[in-house]
Amino acid sequence: MSKESSVYKTYEMAKEVYAGIGVDTESALKTLNSTEISLHCWQGDDCSGFENADSSLTGGIMATGNYPGRARTPAELRQDIEKVMSLVPGKIKLNLHAIYLDTDEKVDRDAIEPRHFESWVDWAVSRGIGLDFNPTYFSHPMSAQGMTLSHPDKAVREFWIEHGRRCRKIAEYFGKRTGKPCVTNLWIPDGFKDAPVDPIGPRLRLKEALDEIYREKIDKRYNKDAVESKLFGIGLEAYTTGSHEFYMGYALANPDVMLTMDAGHYHPTEVISYKIAALLVFVDEILLHISRPVRWDSDHVVTFDDELCAIMQSIIRCGAINRVNIALDYFDASVNRLVAWVVGMRNAQKALLKALLEPTDALKAMERDFDFSSRLALTEEYKTYPFEAVWDYYCESKGVPVRAAWLPEVKAYEKDVLSKR
């Protein structure tokens, strides 16, 4: 980078400003650059997958919109993801669902194996990135009644238990091949539209099923397990079997299983940024799904809003950058899908950088001394410190577009590639 460029000159001024409050911008950038954020593959094809081109989404999953250019094959999806990777700085992982297998073989979910994902692993290894994974408990005839692992029919439960077991083995293979632990996140759509008479029965069955899935111990160097709660879903408005309370209890009782907190899976007035510190007192690691609820779990594109900044701030203030796994989770079919990806990833990275540029130790010292006046005054002042100059410098130093210069590239890609699908 030329020292005569405006980006460099502006960064040098910002660096001096931050040094004045005891913040080393180079150290912050080093931490940012080493922090992997998991990019969700399902934004690129509206969560349809490649298991069956004619399958429809069920289980409270809904992608709205019909913007042209949806990826139709694994190769097209990888092509789109590579374009996104060229427009965001820093390290990413790719998050796959089980329905994204790449095979000509017709295989049901209780029979999937690592070989059905070989092309994804080869691609990830060639790119030097890790893979995360998710069993897919929706959009299948065996989930049509709105229940899977908590279904009263043992045969249905056994089908989905075997799916969970096989997904963990696939994840283990991902971890061994890529050299990076695969985070395997389990979410089920189970519940009722109206209030059940027996609220505990489904949860007892779910606990028993989870115990079976996690019975085999897998080295955490290769696979890390997580369970994801939800408030409710479409058609399951009254009762969700896998609630926050249920999965928090399960994770605390089973230390090898992480709790996943999704930003959109709670009551409208709840935010996960306040939950992070409480949970980290009792667990070693957690998984965060960064999303943006509008009225409910609508999975909107992540914007640079107060809650996103608060989530990243909570991670840094807790000193938990190595204990929190960060992943994106949304799908919007009303806009260019690459725009949705790039906006969300760059915003997540920007918010993390902003949190890293706070003089956390100095503020904590004020708090310990009961100097709440200084704490209030300075935290407000730091909100408008020139973090964007540090972000621009980071982008340019990583060879990706600065500010909105990435958008014309996506528009050109839409014209040359997406419009021809």
**Residue 232 belongs to domain with CATH number:** 3.20.20.150
* Portion of the chain with pLDDT greater than 70, in percent: 98
Alpha helices in 49-181 (DSSP H): 74-85, 118-127, 154-178
Q: Per-residue pLDDT tens for 283-334?
A: 999 999 999 998 877 789 999 999 999 999 999 999 999 999 999 999 999 9
Catalytic residues: 187, 228, 230, 262, 265, 289, 297, 299, 329
Distant-in-sequence, close-in-space partners of 419: CB < 8 Å, separation ≥ 6: 68, 69
Query: Does 396 reside within a domain?
Result: no
pLDDT exceeds cutoff 70 at 242: yes
Query: Does 372 reside within a domain?
Result: no
Query: Does 363 reside within a domain?
Result: no
Query: Does 337 reside within a domain?
Result: yes
Provide the strand spans (E) within 250-373: 257-262, 286-290, 324-328
What is the mean pLDDT of the segment spanning 367-382? 98
Query: Does 380 reside within a domain?
Result: no
Task: Find the distance separating the first CA and the last CA of the chain, reported in whole Å.
Answer: 38
- Chain centroid to CA 164: how far? 19
The confidence band for 35, taking pLDDT boundaries of 50, 70 and 90, is very high
Where residue 218 falls (left for φ over 0; alpha for ψ -120 to 50; beta otherwise) is beta
Residue 127: its pLDDT value, please? Answer: 97
The confidence band for 60, taking pLDDT boundaries of 50, 70 and 90, is low
Neighbouring CB atoms inside 10 A of 322's CB total: 11
What is the mean pLDDT of the segment spanning 342-370? 98
pTM given for the model: 0.96
What is the mean pLDDT of the segment spanning 197-206? 98
Alpha helices in 261-336 (DSSP H): 275-280, 306-317
What is the mean pLDDT of the segment spanning 185-200? 96
Residue 387: its pLDDT value, please? Answer: 98
Q: Can you state the angle between helices 337-356 and 25-34, rounded to 10 degrees? A: 140
Query: How many domains does the chain divide into?
Result: 1
Query: Does 138 reside within a domain?
Result: yes
Distance, CA of 147 to CA of 140 (rounded, Å): 11
Distant-in-sequence, close-in-space partners of 176: CB < 8 Å, separation ≥ 6: 222
Residues in a beta bridge with 287: 260, 325
Neighbouring CB atoms inside 10 A of 380's CB total: 9
**Range with the poorest average pLDDT among 184-198, 214-228, 284-298:** 284-298
What is the mean pLDDT of the segment spanning 71-90? 97
| H or E, element range at 15 | helix 6-19
Residue 117: its pLDDT value, please? Answer: 98
The confidence band for 234, taking pLDDT boundaries of 50, 70 and 90, is confident
- Chain centroid to CA 12: how far? 33
Residue 232: its pLDDT value, please? Answer: 85
Residue 3: its pLDDT value, please? Answer: 77
Residue 235: its pLDDT value, please? Answer: 83
Q: Which domain holds residue 246?
A: 36-349
The Cβ-side half-sphere exposure at 49, using a 13 Å CA radius, reads: 24
Residue (of 272, 269, 203, 204) closest to 240 by Cα position? 203
Query: Does 176 reside within a domain?
Result: yes
